[in-house]
């Protein structure tokens, strides 16, 4: 359902590749949050050291 040879050839968003695409997007968001979290931690440490 929803899968066509054309989509399959492109490696696109066919029925087969749907779950994998969603998983990839989810992992992208997770990595972004992880990256942003690191920046906030560094800022927090920087402020903490400077206020000693």
Structure tokens at 7: 């989509």
Whether this model's pTM surpasses 0.85:
no
What is the structure's pLDDT at 10? Answer: 47
Each residue's pLDDT expressed in tens, for the chain with a length of 52 residues = 455 555 444 444 445 556 777 778 888 888 888 888 888 889 999 999 998 7
**Radius of gyration (Cα) for the chain, nearest Å?**
20
- Non-local (6+) Cβ contacts of 6 within 8 A are 12
CB 15 within 8 A of CB 3: yes
pLDDT at 17: 58
């Amino acid at each position: 359902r929803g899968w066509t040879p054309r989509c399959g050839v492109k490696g696109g968003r066919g029925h087969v590749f749907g779950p994998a695409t969603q998983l990839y997007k989810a992992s992208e968001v997770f990595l972004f949050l992880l990256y942003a979290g690191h920046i906030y931690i560094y800022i927090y440490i920087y402020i903490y050291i400077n206020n000693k």
